Chain A
Amino acid sequence: GENVEQHPSTLSVQEGDSAVIKCTYSDSASNYFPWYKQELGKRPQLIIDIRSNVGEKKDQRIAVTLNKTAKHFSLHITETQPEDSAVYFCAASKTGGGADGLTFGKGTHLIIQP
């Protein structure tokens, strides 16, 4: 089955700096890659997603890039703010509609230092 590796496990950046979280996946048939943000004690919230027919997607301060050949994708957060502090999860799936479910990475704890 699919395996998703996520790095780093903890990332501490100064407020206003950029943060980059990287994930690799094993199944070349995977075609959907969402990113979720989970604050302590709260539900995972979708922040951005990308499909395999697109190389990059942006939404304000957040961007995701995908390299299908290398089977890796990354989350980029610019101008970080205190409210960006949370655990971020990448995920991958290979079927439209998710019948195989999402395979998640182990998460990155992002800490924004004031």
Chain B
Amino acid sequence: ETGVTQSPTHLIKTRGQQVTLRCSSQSGHNTVSWYQQALGQGPQFIFQYYREEENGRGNFPPRFSGLQFPNYSSELNVNALELVDSALYLCASSLPGVDTQYFGPGTRLTVL
């Protein structure tokens, strides 16, 4: 069974740029959630995708957007990057209707 994978591992961007992060869900998991983890904090829920549609969203502005593809992989897009967007971005996959979420290793984004 393949676990959750994310790419890239690290990324450096400048303010105002746009970034795309990628996630491949665990085998058989068709629900993907994205979280932002600032240094020294717990993860914060950004949104969840199920059946290629946004299924739930946390308190993040519209410049955070996502996609899910037919193979269940997902992208997180962030426009107009700000310094405060520097964080570890985690995706987690789960089976539909099941609470348990399994996390990927994360993408470390640094905004300069």
| Interface of A toward B, CB cutoff 8 Å | 1, 4, 6, 32, 34, 36, 42-46, 49, 51, 89, 91, 93, 95-107
Contacts and interface: CB of A to CB of B under 8 A. Distances in A.
27 contacts: A1-B59, A34-B100, A34-B101, A43-B4, A43-B90, A43-B106, A44-B103, A45-B103, A46-B101, A49-B100, A51-B99, A97-B94, A97-B98, A97-B99, A98-B33, A98-B94, A99-B48, A99-B50, A99-B55, A99-B56, A100-B45, A100-B56, A101-B45, A101-B46, A102-B35, A103-B45, A104-B42
Contacts of B103: 36, 43-45
Nearest to A105: B42
B44 A104 contact: yes
Interface residues of B, number: 31
Contacts, number: 77
Contact of A101 (B40, B56, B98): B56
Contacts of A4: 42
A97 B55 CA distance: 10
A44 B90 contact: yes
Interface in B73-110: 90, 94, 96-106
Given A49-B100, A107-B42, 9 more contacts: A32-B99, A43-B106, A44-B43, A97-B50, A99-B56, A101-B46, A101-B48, A102-B43, A104-B42
Contacts of B56: 95, 98-101
Contacts of B46: 101
Query: Which among B31, B42, B101, B103 has the greatest number of chain A C-beta atoms within 10 A?
Result: B42
B8 interface: no
B58 interface: yes
Contacts of A107: 40-42
A51 B100 CA distance: 11
A106 B42 contact: yes
A21 B102 CA distance: 22
A4 B48 CA distance: 20
Contacts of B106: 43
Interface string B23-55: 000000001010100001111111110100001
